[in-house]
Chain A
Amino acid sequence: MTGTAADLIWIAPALALLGFVLNGTLALVRPTAKTLVSIIGAGVLLAAFGVSVTVFRAFADLHADAPVVFRYWSWIPVGTLQVDFALQVDQLSIVMLLIVTGVGSLIHLFSIGYMKDDPGYARYFAYLNLFIFFMLVLVLGANFPVMFVGWEGVGLCSYLLIGFWFSEKANADAGRKAFIMNRIGDFGFMVAMFMIFWSTGSLDFGAVFTHAPTALVPGGGAITAITLFLFLGCTGKSAQIPLYTWLPDAMAGPTPVSALIHAATMVTAGVYLVARCNVLFAMAPLSSAVVAGVGALTALFAATIALKQWDIKRVLAYSTISQLGYMFLGVGTGAISAGIFHLTTHAFFKALLFLGSGSVIYAMHHAYHTTHSHEDAQDMRNMGGLARYLPWTTALMWIATLAIAGIPPLSGFFSKDEILTAAFARGTTNPAWLVFWVFGLAAALLTAFYMTRLMLYTFHGPNRTGEKEREHLHEAPWIMTGPLLVLGILSAAGGLLNVPELYHGSARLHQWLEPVTQPGAAMVPEAHLSTATEWMLVGVAVLIAVLGIVGAWRLLNPAALVPARDAPAERGFARILRHKWYVDEIYDALIVRPLVWLSTEILWKRIDQQAIDGATVNGVARGARALGWANRWLQTGQVGVYVAVFVIGVLLIIWRSVG
């Protein structure tokens, strides 16, 4: 307890939980009370944002170097394992807190408009509030198990929201897939926790990060294993290779959900985890290289797939995976604040892109719904020329597109550039990072390209929606465009949070995070670049971005597109990209099917039913029965015979015992 407003931190998650309880009850009791649901659902979030800002200001006034930990109750006390239900406020969790509640509030407001006709309205807001609760527990938790509560809890909400329209099997499948893939990651998280506990004797962040440098040998097998297992958790939650395939499928959920969970907050939890454990990762250079490498590879790999997707949300999903790769490249390089910076700006522009696409889908869906058409409202081949009908959305999405492409002075430029610079700097001592840097640059080129493609096909060129439908296309209500506008401003100006010294900025975010990142940064060899090199890198990055945009503009011709139902199948390499490198199919053939076959045919039918039950258990029973059958002739049914045998037996016994 600090005696300041920071003590109120518990109110933020408590409010979200309250929202869940109230809305959940309404969903079961009176699902039609939509006004009440909206007031509760968005109200608790706005209030939580207010609390967050209050806590932020109180904490900033404290100028604390160490995290402030609030212990509420003893959760799992067994012997030396003492896990408290404790929340922790520090510079990093405050940043996450503000993003979650701030962006969360905007998305809640957007949802009021987007979901207003849905019969599951109350259920939707209940899940959304529950998600915010778990997300806050995740970022505020003061030890690994409490963080894990949030970690799995957000996975649960993601599951529930992806499968929100559960009557479609595909949606329910996608939700389940997300949960199970996440569980694979959670397995890594759990094993990491076990190893951390038995090597440092605690699971509290403070104790672990203090003791780890002495209890574990830097660069040794144990710390490498711990961090790799932690990173496995990250690959699940943050959709990195090899566990990324759930995220594109997760687009089955309502679009605001994609914006909130699968772009701005939950999927960044892995980045947060690495940032949080920067001490551990700094002690394990190999793991750091793996993190950065997987991040860079994912950034490039996902970007290639995004090139050939037609579903507007899927493009954004692969774009998210790719951008998350950047963040991992950043934190894996040791540039923790750069990773968090990109996390922040990404939360702004990707939320904007998703909500913008939501606005487009809303318009498309509305148009198709009015004319009772069954075309795909998310397929870009059915769009085109929407700029005429959705001017606000178009303008705002262009801001986000330029931001993600890295055009100065928009937010994405600063954050992405910082990561690439850090990678290049690390490359001066370790050439592996130069490869990562090249990957990052290539991904940047592709990012600019596919985003321009998305904008071009969606908003420009001729319209392909259909004659009748065209009349019904129009901008969404203000409750939806309002949040877009706010996000647009943030996407444009978000870079101001952390203007690097190169431009005579004060790198405020970097300095703010210093107390958290310092212990880890102290262990990583520092690499300094000359100002000239830095300017050169900036030049290359901007050039690449411009190249991507111009290239897309010149190469792609939206006028040549035909609506989805008339479109021919792709051929050659485009086909491979269209089918996402067939990764889903490969996983299915190599893992899912063999496992199901093994379980059904071998384990269940052969071992369980035939070997154990059939041969052994029932075999014994059959043996007993056969024995009885064989000796049946002894039973004549004549009492006299029985008595005679009995007497003979008695006489025999007497004879034996006497003789």
Chain B
Amino acid sequence: MTYGRWVITLLLTWPLLAGLIVLFVPARLAKQVAFAASLIEFVISVPLWWAFVPSGGMQFMVDLPWIPAWGIHYTVGLDGISLFLVLLTTFLMPLSVLGSWSYITKRENGFYALLLVLTTGMIGVFVALDLFFFYVMWEVMLIPMYFIIGVWGGENRLYAAIKFFIYTFFGSLLMLVAILVLYLHTGRATGLYSFSYAHLLSQIGTLGPAAWWLFAAFFLAFAIKVPLFPLHTWLPDAHVEAPTAGSVLLAGILLKMGTYGFLRFAVPFFPGVALNEVVQLVIVGLALIGIIYGGLVAMVQPDFKKLIAYSSVAHLGFVVLGIWAMTLQSVQGALLVMINHGISTGALFFLVGMIYERRHSRLIAAYGGIARVVPLFSAILTVVSLSSIALPGTNGFVGEFLVLLGSFRTYPVITALATTGVIVAAAYLLTALQRVIYNPLTDHENEKLTDLSVRELAVLVPLLVCILWLGIYPQPFLRRMEPSARQLIEQVRPGATQGQPPFATGEGGGGGGGERGGTPQ
């Protein structure tokens, strides 16, 4: 198991090193080197898939003292929740570099170096098991993204970048305070001052009323990141202004940090507060609003990137709903939606970026009828859109189905309302699709569009493969997630995963569905 001992550390250090190298190579080589580096990073991470043992608990743990005087350690590890987020990160990175190939034309060294630093930050957030280290990584990931938007973004990039930064930073400072309070409290209670996740987790029971404030701080930090309605307004601006790779990573990975934070910290640390009936209802209500509201607002956006941004609000609403419904199906569904959203929305942003490079317009109205001119682009855009609106057979369906099915047990009415989100999703994406690739070809500039190049196909095909794979055979993913999800639920709500009672209708007095169902073969 030597691989298990060094893999996470290598995943964290290699991009930093590579970023440094990229800074000093000639500008024309920057993207090649960055691509090679991110590909190596992906190759390093791939064996995790097989090395990972589907069971609860952390694996590939490394625990080294960093600043021992203050109980700060370099503690990292992976479980079924974070494994796929790390893999998604390493998977999207080479694609992002390829997708930026001709999009980024100025200061290439800096851009690709920042992308690589961002990789470290993102992976660090997902693997950190020491809250201090987690916080550092949280900020490490914030800064490169700020520059990526602010330097390589669109016309209004400064506004968007600063808004993104301050919004997120506001949340993370609150979280820092909460982390410190937790640290001091635990230190006082046990005499051992440590930022270790496991150590802090062991003392959560003794917090008393302070838990409410601490939960609020954590929740706010993550809710901004998700983003949960009504904290979402930074997202459309950031998405619209960011360069393609920025949008992809923002949607694909960064948003997931919020929901990951819910699962890893906010809920397990403060189960009493998080699963308090009123709190739960408020959060699930916000998620529902996000789903419907995001969809409706997406429906009337003239800008394709903004449309996708609002659709992200809706998709992440499903994730939050799934997390707070806290059934095995809903939590695993939420995890799956997180991955799916990374893939599908990532692909959508890539596609919009590609067409933007040709036509320099993100406005839906600038297109129309281009299916005749660029059939391959249109075919792929259709498939990706369908996966985004959760057509069965694509990845989107499996995730949303699980979330809704699982949540229905806890919140039948809210879930039924959330299910209308699938109608709205069809309305906004198919309308946009129609206005972009169908309808009469009116603008003569669109007649000159060229279809996808080999490089662009190389970006999209891996994503398409994932869309179908996760849609048709998600079982390997679900199998690896299940123990961790089960463990999490057991931890915050003991006994919840056993003997699920039938749907509470006040009638139909059958026994537990657990014994009856689920006996294939």
Contact = CB atoms under 8 A, between A and B. Distances in A.
A617 B166 CA distance: 10
B376 A28 contact: yes
Given A184-B423, A191-B416, A169 B439 contact: yes
B332 A78 contact: yes
Nearest to B296: A599
B197 interface: no
Contact of A167 (B297, B372, B408, B518): B372
Interface string B342-386: 000000000000000000000000000101100110010000001
B479 A77 contact: yes
B386 A156 contact: yes
A604 B300 contact: yes
A458 interface: no
Given A76-B478, A82-B520, A612-B233, A215 B405 contact: no
Nearest to A137: B393
Given A217-B508, A603-B296, A198 B503 contact: yes
A78 B402 contact: yes
A225 to B, nearest CB: 8
A612 B297 CA distance: 14
Contact of A199 (B300, B472, B478, B503): B503
Interface residues of B, number: 79
Contact of A76 (B163, B379, B398): B398
A194 B520 contact: no
B297 A604 contact: yes
B508 A76 contact: no
Interface string B478-521: 11001000100000000001001011011110101111111111
Contacts of A77: 475, 478-479, 518, 520
A217 B507 contact: yes
Contacts of A607: 293
Interface stretch (B43-51, B210-218, B271-279, B426-434): B426-434
A598 B299 CA distance: 11
A617 B519 CA distance: 52
A617 B163 contact: yes
B205 interface: no
Interface in A156-175: 156, 159, 163, 166-169, 172-173, 175
A74 B475 contact: yes
A180 interface: yes
Given A190-B422, A222-B505, A167 B369 contact: yes
A37 to B, nearest CB: 15
Nearest to A618: B163
Contact of A172 (B422, B423, B434): B434
Contact of A78 (B167, B328, B439): B328
A183 B296 contact: no
Nearest to B376: A28
Interface string B421-445: 0110011001100100111110000
A173 B431 CA distance: 9
A152 interface: yes
A179 B430 CA distance: 9
B520 A190 contact: no
A201 B473 contact: no
B419 A211 contact: no
A595 interface: yes
Contacts of A186: 422
Interface in B159-178: 163, 166-167
B439 A73 contact: no
A612 B329 contact: no
B391 interface: yes
Contact of A603 (B293, B419, B440): B293
Contacts of A148: 392
B247 interface: no
A76 to B, nearest CB: 6
Nearest to B166: A621
Contacts of A176: 430-431, 434
Contacts of A215: 502, 508, 510
Interface string B285-298: 00000000100110
Contact of B508 (A166, A222, A600): A222
Nearest to B391: A152
A160 to B, nearest CB: 8
B405 A28 contact: no
A84 B514 CA distance: 17
A608 B386 CA distance: 27
A437 to B, nearest CB: 33
Nearest to A146: B392
Nearest to A601: B300
A80 B386 CA distance: 28
B438 A200 contact: no
B230 interface: yes
Interface in A112-151: 145, 148-149, 151
A80 B369 contact: no
B404 interface: yes
B329 A78 contact: yes
A166 B518 contact: no
Contacts of A169: 438-440
Contacts of B497: 79
B420 interface: yes
Contact of A600 (B300, B328, B408, B430): B300
A75 B505 contact: no
Contacts of A596: 299-300
A64 to B, nearest CB: 19
A210 to B, nearest CB: 9
A512 interface: no
Nearest to B486: A79
Contacts of B406: 78
B409 interface: yes
A350 to B, nearest CB: 27
A82 B438 contact: no
A78 B482 CA distance: 7
A11 interface: no
A187 interface: yes
A28 B379 contact: yes
Contacts of A195: 408, 412, 503
B56 interface: no
A576 interface: no
A599 B297 contact: yes
B401 interface: yes
A384 to B, nearest CB: 32
Given A77-B475, A211-B510, A613 B233 contact: yes
A156 B438 contact: no
A193 interface: yes
Contacts of B119: none
A81 interface: yes
A149 B392 contact: yes
A276 to B, nearest CB: 17
Given A180-B426, A191-B419, A603-B296, 6 more contacts: A73-B473, A76-B474, A77-B520, A183-B422, A190-B422, A197-B405
Q: Which 6 A-B pairs have the closest CB atoms?
A: A201-B513, A198-B503, A201-B517, A215-B510, A166-B438, A194-B408
15 contacts: A75-B472, A78-B478, A80-B514, A82-B518, A149-B393, A152-B391, A156-B386, A166-B369, A167-B438, A179-B426, A195-B408, A220-B507, A603-B296, A617-B167, A617-B234
Interface of B: 163, 166-167, 230, 233-234, 293, 296-297, 299-301, 328-329, 332-333, 369, 371-372, 375-376, 379, 386, 391-393, 397-398, 401-402, 404-406, 408-409, 412, 415-416, 419-420, 422-423, 426-427, 430-431, 434, 437-441, 472-475, 478-479, 482, 486, 497, 500, 502-503, 505-508, 510, 512-521
Interface of A: 24, 27-28, 71, 73-82, 84-85, 145, 148-149, 151-153, 156, 159, 163, 166-169, 172-173, 175-176, 179-180, 183-184, 186-187, 190-191, 193-195, 197-202, 207, 211, 214-217, 220-222, 595-596, 598-600, 603-604, 607-608, 612-613, 616-617, 621
